[in-house]
Amino acid sequence: MIDVAEGSETLEACVAVLQSVFGYEAFRGPQAQIVTHVSDGGDALVLMPTGGGKSLCYQVPAIVRERAGHGVAVVVSPLIALMHDQVGALSEAGVSAAYLNSSLSLEDAQRIEQQLRRGELTLLYVAPERLLTPRCQAMLESLHAQGRLSLFAIDEAHCVSQWGHDFRPEYRELAVLPERFAGVPRIALTATADALTRADIVERLQLQDARTFISSFDRPNIRYLLVEKKDATQQLLRFIRDEHMGAQGHDAGVVYCQSRRRVEEVAQVLQQAGLKALPYHAGLDAAVRQQHQDRFLREEGMIMVATIAFGMGIDKPDVRFVAHLDMPKNIEGYYQETGRAGRDGEPANAWMAYGLQDVVNQRRMIDDSPAPDEFKQVLRGKLDALLALAEASDCRRVRLLRYFGEDSAPCGNCDNCLNPPELFDATEAARKLLSCIYRVQQASGHGYGAGHIMDILRGKSTEKVLANGHERLSTFGIGADWSETQWRALLRQLIAIEAVRVDDAPYNTLHLADGARAVLKGEAEVRLRLLAERAPTRSRSARARPPVGDDGAPLSLAERDCLDALKAWRAQVAKEHNLPAYVIFHDATLRAIAQRRPTDVADLDGISGIGEKKRAAYGEAVLAVVSAFR
């Protein structure tokens, strides 16, 4: 916490806005430095994990600079749903905000443009493609000429980078901002960017002179759980039932699948199992997608089964789990998607089922893409880093953070820390597998796929083995004592250490890679985890413990009854305002109210999340709810 008495006038103004408008007592982490720097007119690149408070980093300077006479702040965001909810949240806090995007009618868009010209807005949210239209550029140039353009905030800035996990070409055009609007400060924000992506953001957005703020990437409340894929849908069901079911129903979660068809299948299975689940993918009608997204945001305990088309910017704080039924493309995508769990800081799970076919499929997509070889090589490296994370027997969090350049100690809150896997020396088996790949290629002049290699190792006289004379190879049957599951696990490990590569052309064939030599010569050891179903690890999920107050102590029964009544009241207000419940008040705010059980409006002072506007708008209603529980 920064001592305001020792800070600048700008910092004092920022803290005043934080407390009076948003109802928070103090900034967290580097927020104070960021808002002061931007409010004073500086450019910034901000890397902050999901749930770390990125929005305040531009909303507070926008309000401070508007009050100082600098005009409106323009927020560039690719997400229509996020614009709607953020504008709604700002309006609830008493801040004049609006958005311009394709969801508006012509009349509504013209009305907002008139508000903009009259100087009635503090923040304007726009999609990048709308910002770049001649009409919007002309409006902003007029404001700039009058000195009424306070700052540009570029949210989801990783979208500008070809190395990022969600590249959007229109973001490249944002390089015109410093040229056309010289002197207007810019702040670019993202939750996920490795060193390569950061450098690309700086170059593409011309932020060479910007100050960079990098927060810790650690999300200590998220527990990472990775399992070998057997029957992924049934494994998912067991996980939800074991970890996220309670007497009141099940937790909210997101389940990611690779294909649209798989999304539909999994959503149906979950529904048949009695879970509240909805599908979301780009093949659905836009109105259906919007309806499903609204239900996910506004109803408790919804599970969204989706492709990666869903999720960026989703600001739902009480998502208790994110599950992957297929391996993502890279660690950035995995980190971004798992980061949608536990935004409220409460315990949450990141669960993934993965298998050899996931690796093969992802490599095929890279190899089949029309990208240049240099680009493909970078993508392969990113995939290999994720595979190494999945195959790791040490702390998942240490490996994840190391990828983003951050050192850490074992976390005690991932599957490998909680249940350290039992390892054994699999070097001899690895040599058998590598030798088999080599002998087959030597005999045939080309490689074969994993299934055929394993049939030879296990001594299975299949039609394909006999037709190619591979039963005569010296490696035929030398691995009969291992199951196919064990061989596949070993093969994944050898791919992870780059002893084996998978070539897409033509049939996902296996070939020896550079790392094979050291294993074959006895210079490198291969250790493999024993394949056994791990005992389920009870998470510290919201279902596993009663709600707690600000002091960390569980709420009493009376306080919990009061909390339930406050949630019911909040749900009704949110429905009337067509906003998610958390936009009215976060759960933490309601817990603090239930614990304090105020007797007058003044008693609401100091409760985190209650600014002046919300206290005036809802204070009496809150007191009426609480009065029955004093």
Which residues are paired to 349 by β-bridges? 223, 321
User: pLDDT confidence of 421, banded at 50, 70, 90?
Assistant: confident
Indicate the helix (H) or strand (E) that contains 324. strand 319-324
**Residue type for position 60:** V
409 pLDDT more than 70? yes
440 pLDDT more than 50? yes
Give the least confident one: 34-48, 141-155, 353-367, 503-517: 503-517
Within 88-184, strands assigned E span 97-100, 123-126, 149-154
Which one has a higher pLDDT value, 458 or 367?
Answer: 458
Find out whether 250 and 244 touch, Cβ atoms under 8 Å: yes
Handedness of CA 357, 360, 362, 364 (dihedral sign): negative
Measure the CA–CA gap between 107 and 111, rounded to whole angstroms. 6
Rounded to an integer, the average pLDDT of 322-342 is 91
121 pLDDT more than 50? yes
Rounded to an integer, the average pLDDT of 303-310 is 89
Could you tell me what percent of the chain has a pLDDT over 70? 94
27 pLDDT more than 90? yes
Give the least confident one: 182-191, 361-370, 464-473: 361-370
Q: CB-hemisphere CA count at 13 Å for 448?
A: 24
307 pLDDT more than 70? yes
For residue 285, what pLDDT is reported? 92
For residue 361, what pLDDT is reported? 82
Tens digits of per-residue pLDDT, 550-600? 666 788 888 989 999 999 999 999 999 988 899 999 999 999 999 999 999
Nearest in space to 571 (alpha carbons), one of 613, 625, 533, 525: 625
475 pLDDT more than 50? yes
For residue 504, what pLDDT is reported? 59
> Which residues, at least 6 apart from 489, have a Cβ–Cβ distance to it below 8 Å?
228, 528, 529, 531
Tens digits of per-residue pLDDT, 42-85? 999 999 987 778 999 999 999 999 999 999 999 999 877 788 88
Structure letter (DSSP) for residue 2: -
Q: How is residue 30 written in tokens?
A: 């580097």
Nearest in space to 530 (alpha carbons), one of 494, 491, 495, 489: 489
For residue 542, what pLDDT is reported? 40
Measure the CA–CA gap between 277 and 305, rounded to whole angstroms. 7
Find out whether 625 and 566 touch, Cβ atoms under 8 Å: yes
Measure the CA–CA gap between 345 and 542, rounded to whole angstroms. 11
For residue 536, what pLDDT is reported? 43
Q: What angle do CA 392, 393, 394 make, to 5 degrees?
A: 95
Measure the CA–CA gap between 257 and 263, rounded to whole angstroms. 6
Average pLDDT, the chain: 88
Find out whether 502 and 510 touch, Cβ atoms under 8 Å: yes
> Which residues, at least 6 apart from 150, have a Cβ–Cβ distance to it below 8 Å?
61, 62, 65, 66, 70, 71, 72, 73, 184, 185
For residue 6, what pLDDT is reported? 43
90 pLDDT more than 60? yes
**Residue type for position 624:** A
Find out whether 64 and 10 touch, Cβ atoms under 8 Å: yes
532 pLDDT more than 60? no
For residue 5, what pLDDT is reported? 39
3-state secondary structure of 503: strand
Q: How many angstroms separate the Cα of 135 from the Cα of each of 99, 138, 266, 324?
A: 15, 5, 44, 42
Residue 322, judged by CB atoms within 10 A of its CB (0-12, 13-18, 19+), counts as: buried
Give the least confident one: 169-178, 182-191, 358-367: 358-367
Reading phi first (left if > 0) and then psi (alpha if -120 to 50, else beta), residue 448 is in: beta
Tens digits of per-residue pLDDT, 510-525? 889 888 999 998 888 8
User: pLDDT confidence of 107, banded at 50, 70, 90?
Assistant: very high
For residue 165, what pLDDT is reported? 61
The DSSP annotation for 323-338 comes to EESS--SSHHHHHHHH
Residue with tokens 């926008």: 62
Nearest in space to 492 (alpha carbons), one of 362, 396, 377, 394: 362
Q: What is the largest CA-CA distance in the chain?
A: 88
Domains of the chain, CATH where assigned: 4-214 (3.40.50.300), 222-354+392-418 (3.40.50.300), 423-529 (1.10.10.10), 546-629 (1.10.150.80)
Give the least confident one: 144-148, 167-171, 207-211: 167-171
Number of H helices, E strands in the chain: 26, 19
Rounded to an integer, the average pLDDT of 450-464 is 92
Find out whether 309 and 294 touch, Cβ atoms under 8 Å: no
506 pLDDT more than 80? no
For residue 472, what pLDDT is reported? 92
Which one has a higher pLDDT value, 51 or 388?
Answer: 388
306 pLDDT more than 90? yes
For residue 534, what pLDDT is reported? 47
